[in-house]
Each structure stands twice: as structure tokens, then as C-alpha cells.
Amino acid sequence: MGARVPRARGRPLELADIVRRHGAGYRAAHRLCAAQQRALTAIERCRTAALGGEVRACEACGTQRYVYHSCRNRHCPKCQTLAKERWLAQRRAELLPVPYFHLVFTLPHEVNALAQGNPRALYTMLFHSVSATLVEFGENPRWLGGEIAATLVLHTWGQTLTQHLHLHCLLGAGALAPDGHWIHPRPGFLFPIQALSAVCRGKFIAALKHAFTHGHLKFAGSTQPLASPQAQQRFVAQLYRHDWVVYAKPAFSGPESVLDYLGRYTHRIALSNHRLLSVNATEVRFRYKDYAHGNKVKVMGLHPHEFLRRFLIHVLPQGFMRIRHYGLLANRTKRAKLAQARIALDAPPVPPTPAAETVEAFWLRVANLDIHLCPHCRAGRMRTIGPILAAPARAPPAPTPA
């Protein structure tokens, strides 16, 4: 076993430590797309002198601190907390005073390899098939007969970083009728799960067949055999052979509990720093929950290159939106439709969108931490006295086109 990676005393292991130690070797041995290159570079440079920052000094005791800039990459585990809190603050005013349902739509693992080579296309098919299914069921008078309010969040991973493509869906209980009144569902029931599964499967496979027929997908590596029409027909037939997994969780009691739960899913990445245990020349060890055995917490060890490979398959295509809103929450008509829904529910109007919370206010609220208080004397205030210029960036290896 190699020596453990050195870190500052008392500082927990971070994903950035693993990338700094093994990222160059992984890049040299593997072809990465542009988004994966950007993610690795951002994570290893985050909050270091490479990105620059500022020098702060205490006005009372003169203690100085170097504060470095964040990378703000959405795959960096250190840069998501504030983004999540700001997003939740914006969503808080949009929640309706009704119970909420949580559904999960999961793609069969047979499509994983195809998704690795065509992530934008496959993820878009998943969003379109699930959203169209939910909207269709909402408009059906047999179930509701109106327009639903839905938020969909894409996750691509399982606890051990393997590929597990699924959408978390949060739906308000009911729908806005065409005449403006609110349609309440039966208590504890929204839509029939088996019917949702069958319809969603049909829509996704129809989109996949269209992509096959019109040459919209790339085939390489393990998916190269799918380039022939005969193989594509067999692949589609295989997808029809079993039911797809749709999981429905009990309704939440009110809007605040919905926000608490939604916050766990919106800005998560494949692996957070607190799950990491150790890294050396031959192994990365991390904790995971074994859902098949009562959520028991276990430890997995992977070769560093396999660990990075698994992490990088969850890097999203550049600009891809992994949180999307439908029905009453669709961006183009959201303001007017939500106002109608609140009138129908005899609820107060939607309050104005709050201003983005500052970093200072965020830390004071969530951790009771005044980031401007001197950590040495605990009396003076830290003031910025000058910038730290960013180090010139070294050009990474040329990425493979996305």
C-alpha cells in the first residue's frame, strides 16, 4: 500500500485531494470530453491560489488571512451549498398550500452504456417522456382533469458511483382546472403507478426508436454493435420485456417539509466530501449505504482511476439543465398560472422574489458564523487589504469533442 496523501492537520479528505494526486495520471490514460476536463480542472483549482482571491487583515490585532475564490463548478462538492440555499429561497414562494407527492422514474440499466456515449440525447429523452406522461395523466379527467405543478430533478448515480439513471419528481396534489378551480385528488392517491410506468416506457422507447432511425446517436466501444438496424430492433425488444421502475413515496404534509426534502436532491453531486475516508497510491475508500441490506453503511475501496472514472460518468453535458419545471411551474407562464392556482386555493398572492442571499448572511443563518470576525482575537473585523492574482492556468490535454 502506498503512503496516505498528505493534508493539512485536522482537515478532512476532499475530492480535490484525490483529483490533485491522481487526476494527471487519469487524464494521460483516458480520453475525456470537454465537460469532464473542465470539471477536473475546476475541482483541483477550487479555493486555491490558482484562482486568486484576496488578503484580509484584522483591524484590531493585524492577523492576516488568504481567502481564495471558489470554482463554482456544479460538480464540485464545495460549491453547491450556497447555490442550493439560494435556489430553495426562490422556490419557497412558489410552493402551493397542498400536500406533495414524490415519484421516482428509473431507466433500466441496459441503456447505461448508450447514455455514456450520448448523455445529452438520453437524458433529454428521459425528461421528455416522464414530463409528458405526468402532464398527460394530470389532464386526463379520470385522474384529475387539469394542469399539474411538477419539478423534475435528474440523478445519474447510485451510492457506489455506478450509473443509475433516474428522475426525482415532486408534484403538488391536484391540478388547476380550465375554469380556474382547484381539483383535489383522492386522499393519499395521485396516479396509478403501473399505468405511469407503462406509458412512460412507451414514450421513451418511441423517442429512442426515432433517434435510431434518424441517426441521432453515436456508437462506440461497447455500443458499437448497436449501429446495425437489426441490433437496434433487438435492443428495443429487450427494453419491452420487463416493467420499468416507478416508485412513489407518501405525500408530504405541507410546503415546508417539501422544501426540506427537495433540498436533499436538487444540488447534490455523485459523491460528497464527507463520505470520503482515505486515498493512497492504489485505493480510494469511501462510505456508502447498502439499500439492499437495510441501508447499512459500508465501506468500498476502488483503484483511484476506477474511482475517477465512476465520478466522471456523472458529469453533465455543458449547459444541460438537470432541474426542470412543468405545468403551472413552466417558466413562460409560471407567474400567471401560480397566481390563478393560489386564488383557487384561497391562498395569499405569491410574494416578490427575494434578493439573492449574500455569502455573509448565509453563513450567519445556517452556522451562526460571522465570517468577518477575526478567528485569532475574536474581537476585530477582517477587512480586505488587497487582491491575490490568479496563477496563470496550465493548458490541460486537448479534450475529446463532446
Residue 151, burial from CB neighbour count under 10 angstroms (0-12, 13-18, 19+): buried
Q: Are residues 383 and 65 in contact, defined by beta-carbon separation less than 8 angstroms?
A: no
70-74, 154-158, 334-338, 353-357 — which is least confidently predicted?
353-357
* pLDDT confidence tier of residue 266, bands split at 50, 70 and 90: confident
Q: What percent of the chain has pLDDT over 70?
A: 94
Give the CA-trace dihedral at 283, 287, 293, 295, to 10 degrees. -170
* pLDDT confidence tier of residue 285, bands split at 50, 70 and 90: very high
C-alpha cell of residue 213:
432511425
Tell whether the model's pLDDT for residue 6 goes beyond 60: no
Reported as type and span, the H/E element at residue 37 is helix 34-45
Q: Are residues 235 and 110 in contact, defined by beta-carbon separation less than 8 angstroms?
A: yes
Q: Are residues 269 and 73 in contact, defined by beta-carbon separation less than 8 angstroms?
A: no
Reported as type and span, the H/E element at residue 297 is strand 296-302
Total count of residues recorded for the chain: 402
C-alpha to C-alpha distances, 230 to 109, 110, 112, 118, nearest whole angstrom: 21, 17, 20, 20
Reported as type and span, the H/E element at residue 364 is helix 359-367
**pLDDT averaged over every residue in the chain:** 90
Residue 40, burial from CB neighbour count under 10 angstroms (0-12, 13-18, 19+): buried
What 3-state DSSP class applies to 277?
Answer: strand
Strands (E), 81-238: 100-106, 149-157, 163-172, 175-176, 182-183
Q: Are residues 320 and 308 in contact, defined by beta-carbon separation less than 8 angstroms?
A: no
- Angle between the 193-213 and 119-139 helix axes, to the nearest 10 degrees? 140
Tell whether the model's pLDDT for residue 377 goes beyond 60: yes
Q: Which residues contact 112 (CB under 8 A, 6 or more apart)?
A: 163, 165
C-alpha cell of residue 355:
434578493
* pLDDT confidence tier of residue 9, bands split at 50, 70 and 90: low
Rounded to whole angstroms, the Cα distance separating 213 from 196 reads: 26
pTM for the model: 0.89
pLDDT at res. 58:
97
pLDDT at res. 393:
60
Q: Are residues 374 and 61 in contact, defined by beta-carbon separation less than 8 angstroms?
A: yes
Tell whether the model's pLDDT for residue 104 goes beyond 60: yes
* pLDDT confidence tier of residue 7, bands split at 50, 70 and 90: low
